[in-house]
């Protein structure tokens, strides 16, 4: 995956997080993240399950947002070093 492709994917994921946080659409945002997960490099993929419960989804987003952001920073640095 090129740096440009990675940045594009991350921007879409960030929009999903923003959508969830600002509009309270947690289930829809989690589905977007679930669909994008398989596009991430293997070492950044999360073990996800289909989520339909709003309270579970809120917890999922609050738990994984920092992990995804940390992984993004690390992977972007690796791509820039190539």
Contact 62, 40 (CB under 8 A): no
Distance CA(25)–CA(16), nearest Å, equals 9
Backbone angles phi, psi at 41, to 5 degrees: -60, 150
Average pLDDT rounded to a whole number, residues 32-36: 73
CA 74 – CA 72 distance, rounded (Å): 5
The pLDDT score that the predictor gives to residue 79 is: 81
Q: What are the tokens at 53?
A: 């419960």
The tens digit of pLDDT for each residue in 35-76 reads: 777 777 776 666 666 556 677 777 777 777 777 778 778 878
**Domain map (residue ranges) of the chain:** 3-80
Instruction: Give this prediction's pTM.
Output: 0.52
Whats the size of the chain, residue-wise? Answer: 82
């Amino acid at each position: 995956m090129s740096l440009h492709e990675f940045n594009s994917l991350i921007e879409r994921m960030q929009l999903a997080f923003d959508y969830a946080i600002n509009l309270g659409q947690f289930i829809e945002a989690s589905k977007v993240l679930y669909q994008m997960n398989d596009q991430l490099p293997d070492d950044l993929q999360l073990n996800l399950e289909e989520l339909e419960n709003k309270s579970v989804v809120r917890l999922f987003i609050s738990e994984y947002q920092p992990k995804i952001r940390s992984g993004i920073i690390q992977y972007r640095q690796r791509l820039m070093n190539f």
